[in-house]
Structure formats: C-alpha cells, structure tokens
C-alpha cells in the first residue's frame, strides 16, 4: 500500500510530495521554490520574505469572514540522518517511506515527519474547497533545526493574524504552551600531531546501534551518547596503558543524540593483547549498564593500518579528560512543572583529526538563567585546556500562559471529542513559538501534533491513526475560532 492511499488522503499526498524534495537545514532552496509554486498554483497570495520564509494567505470560507485570522505555522527543513550502513544521498534523493502496521517510517533514514506532517497539513487546508475555516496565514519557516533562522528573521509586516497554531509537537494527547530556549557551544583547538613509530600498532573502535533521538525531547530517557561512551572506553585504556588518539569521529548533528562514533588509537605493539582484552571487557560492562535502554548497542574493535601521526600522549589525556568532564544529559528538572526537564546539555559532535580537536554541543533550558549556567559550565570545561569557544544560535524559550484563550478553546474541544482531558505541557524542545512571540507579543499561541517517535533519528516514525485523530481535531478547532476583536 502506498502512503498516498492512507487517510486522510488530502494530507498524506502532500506529505509524499514534500518528501520527494530534498530539504536539509541550510539548503532549503528547492523546498522554498516548491512551496512558492504550490501557493501560486492555487491562485493565493504567496510571499517569500528576505530570509526565504514562505507565507501563503487564504481568505476565510463563506460564513467565517468575521472570525479572527489564524496563523498556521510549520518549518520546511528536516533533520537528515541515516544509519551508517545505509546508502543514501540526501541532496538528490527523496525519502523512501515504508508502512509498518499503524506507522509510517523510512528506509534507514529520518522520515521528515518532523515537521513535514505539519507542512502537509497546512498544504491540505490551503488546497481545500470544502473545509470551513477563518482567514489563514500559512507561515512556512526555514532552518528551524539548525538555528531557528527563519523564525528569528521573520518579517512581522507579512503577518496580521492574532492566533498561532504551531503544528510541531509529537504527542496527540498534549497541548504545548511553553518550550525551552537553546544555545550552541562550539569549541576548537589546534594541536601538533606527532609521528607514530613503525613498531606501534593501531586499532579502530566503533560504537553503533544506539537509539539516538531528539536531544531535547529524548534527553531524559537515559539513552547512550556515543561520544561519551567512546570517551569512557579510551579513558579506561589510559588508566592501564599509554594509548594515543589518532582520530575520533562521533555524532553527526547538533540537535541529535549521537548514535555512532569511531576512534583510532595507537600504542606500543607489546600492548596489543592487553588493549584488546581491556576493550572487550569494558565493552561488556557498558552493554550491561545500558541493557534496558540500548538493546542494540554494538561495540566493535579491529586492528587497522598504522596511521603515520597521532596526538601526543599528553594531548590525548587532555582531550579525553575534557570530554569526560563535559556535562551531558539532564542538568536540572523543573521545580515548577512536574516531569519537565528544565535544563540539559548534549555533546553532539566530536572530531579529532589532522591536528584539530573540535566539538559541538547544544544547551537547552526553559529558564534563561539556567540556560546560561549550563552553557557556561560547558564553555569552561573547554576553555580550561585552551580551546577557542564560540557560543551562538541563542534563542529564547516560550513562557507558558495557562490562561490562553486558544488553550481554553482547544482543551474544552478535546474533552468533548475524546471524553478525557489533554495534557497541558511545556516541552524541552526548541519550538519556534518562543521566538515568534518576541515578534508578535500579543499573539495567542499553542502547539500540537500527532504521535511522532524517534525524531532526529533513522528510527523516526509517525502513527497513521494519530494523524487521523489530529486532522479531525484541527478541523473542528478551526470552526471554533472566535470573532475578531
């Protein structure tokens, strides 16, 4: 069965069309052109602003002209990540989708349900001729996943709506009214490679099979971080031997929990048996430690050709101890909202190669002061060994408003439709609502969506029945939009 035949077909066909268009963050030219052509083909006012956000405006249907204008908002870019053994070119290929029971997933890559389902939903509404709705301003932003660039630079003059429905959360029984802000901490250090004597040996250690996931939404789930696990293995070897790091390559994206890492280490030939024994034994310890969560964890090691250069022993200790000391995972739980992660950090990327030691990490918090605190903690760890540290991409959180009028409308409607209360939550992801709220301080905002699991990883999937639930809920919400003030 094709995804295009799923219900509601008006939504899934647009999701399939969208997934035929490569749309990585920072490379949205093709999807922007796609959306511009889509809006113009419907005869609707279609605008591309100076940063390449796309705005498409549709008048209200008959009888709804006096209702408040609604901004429907989703982001065009998607996280591009694949399994190590998957052969796939994100720059040229469309996503290969699969149906597995009640779920749609992809063949070894991210699916793009984050936030493609939201985009496809809005496209279906814009194209519709029989769905009642107030005036719609569809705001499709760019570069949400790697910097919130589109939201940061949106031009307020193109938007007049007073209610914003953000379609970018991942549980269909939740209404989100707050989110975390974030900041990137990136470090670099130039070191001098030293030659490797010809009587040395080298092994490559590979970590793979971790769940990974969204470094905000999944940070509290106790999943392994490949960069931190590799650091632990090398630190264990340093406790017993004199290994040197020739290379280290871990993680892939700033906002994804690292699933894979590999490192090449060199040492005296007479230490080979000892090192192999140490790696094997410690790997088994790690598998036991993570057996409940990381059931597919694989740690492999093999002898490889001897590299000509490696970091010195002293630099190896310096790098490994620094990586070991960097805070990773939940930093503080919210004292105000039960179960909410307030602040966290994720060591997303580590590269040691050819005289350069670089890292990328992302700190998040719903409280500005604790965001600065954890970011400064990470910064300090790297500055202590002389790294150049740059912090950028700082964006604000979204403060919850428990008295939001649109929240009241949607909560009452949810109870009426499903005979239970929705969960009113703030999330630890970085939604664009926080930034958009700075541009539109009087706009009433809420975020919701269908069940999406393992976003930002090749295990990403979206639930078919949940999309149907979410679609019906959205359509009835649009009929409940109040009159203009």
- 3 state SS of 348: strand
Burial per residue of 215-246, b for 16 or more beta-carbon CB atoms within 10 angstroms, e otherwise: bbbbbeeebbbbbbbbbbbbebbbeeeebbbb
Catalytic site residue 77? yes
First to last CA, the chain: 47
Of the residues 77, 184, 218, 315, only one is catalytic, namely: 77
Please give the structure tokens belonging to residue 255.
């906002």
Of the residues 144, 145, 170, 172, only one is catalytic, namely: 144
| Whole-number Cα distances in Å, 62 to 45, 133, 310 | 18, 9, 71
Please give the structure tokens belonging to residue 356.
């350069």
User: Is-contact 80 88, C-beta < 8 A?
Assistant: no
Decide the pairing of beta strands 461-463 and 452-453. Answer: antiparallel
The residues, ordered by sequence, that sit 6+ positions from 101 with a Cβ below 8 Å of its Cβ are none
Q: Which of 73, 80, 79 is nearest to 121 (CA)?
A: 73
Catalytic site residue 285? no
In angstroms and rounded to an integer, the radius of gyration of the C-alpha atoms of the chain is: 24
Burial per residue of 302-336, b for 16 or more beta-carbon CB atoms within 10 angstroms, e otherwise: eeeebbeebbeeebbbbbbebbebbbbbbbeebee
Q: If you write DSSP's letter for every residue of 33-46 in order, what string do you get?
A: HHHHHHHHHTT-EE
Distance between CA 245 and CA 253 in Å, rounded?
Answer: 22
- 3 state SS of 49: coil
The residues, ordered by sequence, that sit 6+ positions from 147 with a Cβ below 8 Å of its Cβ are 25, 184, 393, 395
Decide the pairing of beta strands 341-353 and 329-333. Answer: antiparallel
Furthest C-alpha separation in the chain: 84
- Active-site residue numbers? 77, 144
């Amino acid at each position: 069965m094709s995804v295009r035949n799923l219900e509601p077909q008006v939504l899934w066909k647009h999701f399939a069309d969208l997934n035929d268009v490569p749309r990585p963050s920072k490379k949205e030219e093709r999807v922007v052109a796609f959306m511009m052509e889509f809006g113009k083909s419907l005869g609707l006012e279609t605008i591309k602003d100076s940063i390449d956000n796309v705005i498409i405006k549709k008048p209200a249907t008959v009888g709804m002209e006096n209702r408040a204008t609604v901004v429907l908002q989703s982001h065009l870019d998607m996280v591009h990540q694949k399994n190590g053994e998957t052969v796939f070119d994100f720059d040229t290929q469309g996503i290969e989708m699969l149906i597995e029971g009640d779920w749609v997933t992809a063949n070894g890559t991210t699916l793009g349900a984050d936030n493609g389902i939201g985009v496809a939903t809005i496209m279906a509404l814009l194209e519709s001729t029989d769905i009642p709705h107030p005036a719609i301003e569809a705001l499709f932003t760019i570069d949400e996943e790697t910097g919130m660039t589109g939201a940061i630079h949106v031009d307020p003059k193109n938007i007049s709506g007073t209610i914003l429905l953000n379609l970018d959360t991942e549980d269909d029984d939740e209404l989100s009214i707050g989110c975390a802000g974030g900041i990137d901490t990136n470090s670099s250090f130039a070191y001098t490679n030293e030659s490797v004597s010809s009587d040395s040996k080298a092994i490559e250690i590979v970590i793979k099979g971790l769940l990974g996931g969204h470094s905000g939404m999944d940070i509290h789930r106790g999943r392994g971080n490949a960069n931190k696990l590799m650091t632990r293995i090398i630190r264990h070897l340093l406790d017993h031997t004199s290994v040197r790091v020739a290379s280290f390559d871990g993680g892939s994206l700033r906002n994804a929990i690292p699933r894979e890492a590999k490192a090449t280490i060199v040492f005296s030939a007479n230490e080979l048996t000892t090192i192999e024994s140490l790696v094997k034994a410690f790997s088994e310890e790690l598998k036991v430690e993570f057996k409940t969560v990381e059931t597919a964890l694989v740690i492999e090691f093999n002898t490889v050709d001897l590299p000509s250069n490696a970091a010195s022993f002293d630099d190896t200790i310096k790098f490994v101890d620094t990586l070991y000391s960097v805070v990773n995972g939940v930093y503080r739980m919210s004292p105000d909202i039960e179960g909410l992660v307030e602040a966290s950090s994720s060591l997303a990327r580590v590269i040691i190669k050819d005289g350069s030691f670089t890292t990328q990490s992302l700190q998040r918090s719903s409280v500005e002061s604790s965001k600065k605190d954890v970011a400064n903690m990470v910064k300090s760890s790297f500055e202590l060994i002389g790294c150049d540290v740059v912090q950028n991409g700082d964006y604000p959180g979204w403060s919850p408003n428990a008295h939001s009028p649109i929240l009241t409308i949607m909560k009452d409607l949810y109870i009426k439709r499903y005979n239970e209360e929705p969960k009113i939550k703030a999330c630890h992801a970085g939604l664009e609502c926080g930034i958009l709220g700075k541009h539109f301080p009087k706009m009433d905002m809420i975020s919701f969506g269908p069940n999406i699991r393992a976003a930002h990883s090749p295990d990403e999937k979206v639930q078919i029945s949940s999309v149907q639930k979410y679609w019906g809920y959205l359509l009835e919400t649009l009929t409940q939009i109040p009159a203009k003030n």
